[in-house]
A = this chain, B = another copy of it.
């Protein structure tokens, strides 16, 4: 599945149109995204990927993970469960991805609370993820400095990756360019695995958009706008989880353009 490109001349204002275009590609091509992720996040991640147009698979068995990665269009590595079996699956999957030239994303969940997990995440930087998605505390644990714009750009440049730091305002940088996205809703912090699921959508976008910076920014805008729409419909965090799946499924260029707060 060759990734297409989309020329953005004025990223701040053109991102909604790019994001709509990337969503259309997901729905038309249905990329396969292999996910090595934690058991808490698996169901919600799979449902968010399906809503976005992608096809998830989630095995971590050493006998078959390489085969699944080889027939996938992108790979998600989420460290939210840090057991020996999953670490081994990550190594096998990254070898299979490298052999095929497949893009992958690293989501170093909660490395700020686990030094061994942080060590493992730092070791994976050398395996050249196309993108990182993480929160400010996780960025600080990974990079050894606070999640400020210049530090994020510097880390992205050093790693040769796109870095997306999620928060009330998301920051996306590839070292040369940066965008801020101020969409989202407070309920996103009250649904488990919300960040994990957004990482999975970034991964899916990496399969269909040639420029990793554009793919990552588009996915974060999709997540943020879908979250805002869901927040307007939800009576609480339980129904929010349901509404954000519906919003991702029905999102279009008009909704993205009307709501995007990109700077």
Contact = CB atoms under 8 A, between A and B. Distances in A.
A51 interface: yes
Interface residues of A, number: 53
Contact of A42 (B40, B47, B117, B237): B40
A197 to B, nearest CB: 12
A158 interface: no
B47 A191 contact: yes
A239 interface: yes
B51 A40 contact: no
Interface stretch (A62-70, A149-157, A253-261): A62-70
Given A40-B42, A43-B44, A115 B67 contact: yes
A50 B82 contact: no
Interface stretch (A100-108, A201-209, A242-250): A242-250
B192 A56 contact: yes
Total copies of the chain:
3
Contacts of A60: 81, 83
Given A39-B39, A59-B81, A193-B43, A236 B110 contact: no
Interface in A140-198: 189-193
A235 B238 CA distance: 15
Contacts of A84: 61
Given A58-B40, A246-B236, A190 B50 contact: yes
B114 A64 contact: yes
A242 B249 contact: no
A237 B50 contact: yes
Given A43-B193, A51-B236, A238-B245, A113 B83 contact: no
B246 A242 contact: no
Given A68-B114, A113-B57, A237-B51, A190 B249 contact: yes
A46 B192 contact: yes
Interface string A104-137: 0000001001111100000000000000000000
Given A43-B192, A59-B82, A64 B237 contact: no
Contact of A241 (B47, B83, B110, B115): B47
A11 B67 CA distance: 42
Given A40-B43, A64-B117, 8 more contacts: A40-B46, A43-B44, A43-B192, A56-B192, A57-B113, A237-B246, A238-B244, A242-B242
